[in-house]
Amino acid sequence: MDGIVIDKPSRTLHIRRTYTAAVDRVWWAWTDAEAISRWWGPEGWAATVYEMDVRPGGRWRFQIAPADESSAPVRNVATYNAVVARAELHYNAAFADEAWQSDNTGDFPTAVTFTPAGTGCTVDVAATFPDDRALQRAVELQMAEGYAEALDRLDNFLNDPNSEGETIMDTLTSADGTTIAYEKTGSGPAIIVVSNVAEDHTGVAGLAKALSRDFTVISFDRRGRGGSGDPQPYDPAREIEDIAALIDVAGGTAALTSGSGGSGLTLDAASALGDKVTGVYLYEPSFIVDDSRPPAPTGYVETLEALVAAGKRSEAVEYFMTEMIRVPAEYIPMMKQDPSWDLMAKYAHTYAYDARTLADLQDGTPLPTDRWTIEAPIAVSVGSEGEEFIRRGAHALAALLPNVTVLTLPDQDHSAFWMAPEPVAAQAKTFLLG
């Protein structure tokens, strides 16, 4: 029966809950970083997921904090030991300090099983503690009750009509064993949409929808975002492997498209993957090739990494906005009021990821001559209302590589890739399909 059992002889907490939702949907709610952040933790607490790599050896790092700030946040680091898709999750969890190191109160192995119950699903959670003292601490902290409240919140989330339309993303396993979450829509020739810094696949949802009228579109959560893993240390080469795996899903060949800071990775992938890439459409690559605007700040990557390591994610976003994007400081307080700021703070660690990819593309010097070898046709589009340094970077790429066409998108600026997906998709279709 549903409920809580404290088994003192085995030092185990058992919590069971049955849902009307099917196993697939309940599994998704437990393994998608965005989904679990919507219900994890007791009533009145909010969860922030910093890492969720659902594979053996992968980590799950999260923080829960009371909405009324009545007590300090609680941090936890879990390492997955076994993952059986839609059936079992096994992980060792430990309370952690601000540096995400164990607080030495001991690990507690946890098993979560998902069992079909008619058209619904029964979830069993069993958390085992190393000794009687650890179990007693869990009882005093009302851990079982907290779990039970979280599972109640999960029921509300699963039955929320606003969440019914949310897509349960497919996943693949990349070359290094990392889980990559992706979404496949539309029909026709394949195109993969590569998102930008500090956003998951939802950031390019408008463009993916517009392209899906003419293409089979694959959008995905890049490493460290959404439902995809984030093993450390970060290596840009692994992201190329992720794109290669997505091309396999697409049938062996695909076009690539991206905008702004995602353009460096897209070109790297097109160069590495050769004839698997049928064409490339880039919108306003953020290359800085001369003195038409200041280059990336000295120590840019190191500063971003230090801020994130210190838990100063909002400060990392502010640093990126003021020092890299050059947003006037007086605009920052207003920007912080927009919900998009919180999403950027959640993914603040990815600023350093993309900065590594763009390291020699934003330093105010000519583009490297030995980085790319690409035979596929490439379109580099610049908004007619865009900045001069963007146009110079586009023409620099055209002078460097064969088969590059510089296009202009009338009446648009740098935001068009996200805010004006229809004209962007129409231009991409014309270039890639003729």
Reported as a single tens digit per residue, the pLDDT across 324-367 is: 999 999 999 999 998 889 889 989 999 999 999 998 999 999 99
Is pTM, for the whole model, over 0.75?
Answer: no
pLDDT tens for residues 376-393?
Answer: 999 999 999 999 999 999
pLDDT exceeds cutoff 90 at 56: no
Residue type present at position 235: D
In angstroms, the CA 240 to CA 271 distance is: 10
Geometric angle at alpha carbon 317, from 311 and 322, rounded to 5°: 135
Residue 94 contacts residue 107 (beta carbons within 8 Å): yes
**pLDDT of residue 53 exceeding 90:** no
Ramachandran region, residue 186 (left: φ > 0; alpha: ψ -120 to 50; beta: rest): left
pLDDT in tens, 257-267: 999 999 999 99
Q: Where are the beta strands (DSSP E) in 131-246?
A: 170-173, 179-186, 190-194, 216-220
Tell me if the bond preceding 233 is cis, omega within 30° of 0: yes
Q: Is 87 helix (H, G, I), strand (E, B) or coil?
A: coil
Mean pLDDT for the chain overall = 92
pLDDT at 160: 83
Contact between 202 and 181 under an 8 Å Cβ cutoff? The reply is no
Q: Which residues contact 317 (CB under 8 A, 6 or more apart)?
A: 198, 341, 344, 345, 348, 351
Q: Quick: pLDDT tens for 123-141.
A: 999 988 888 888 887 787 7
Rounded alpha-carbon distances, angstroms, from residue 417 to 133, 195, 276, 282? 56, 10, 24, 9
Q: What is the pLDDT of residue 318?
A: 97
- Which residue would you say has higher pLDDT here, 150 or 231? 150
Instruction: State residue 163's pLDDT score.
Output: 67
Query: What's the confidence (pLDDT) of residue 67?
Result: 85
Q: CB neighbours of 321 closer than 8 A, spacing ≥ 6?
A: 327, 332, 335
Q: Are strands 45-52 and 59-66 parallel, antiparallel or unpaired?
A: antiparallel
Tell me how many degrees the CA angle 377-237-311 measures, rounded to the nearest 5. Answer: 120
406-432 burial: b if 16+ Cβ within 10 Å, else e: ebebeebbbebbbebbebbbebbbebb
Per-residue model confidence (pLDDT) at position 147: 83
- pLDDT exceeds 90 at position 68: no
The mean pLDDT value for 290-296 works out to: 96
Longest pairwise C-alpha distance within the chain: 73
Task: Return d(Cα 314, Cα 337) in angstroms, integer.
Answer: 12
pLDDT at 164 over 70: no
Evaluate whether 381 touches 282 at the Cβ level (below 8 Å): yes
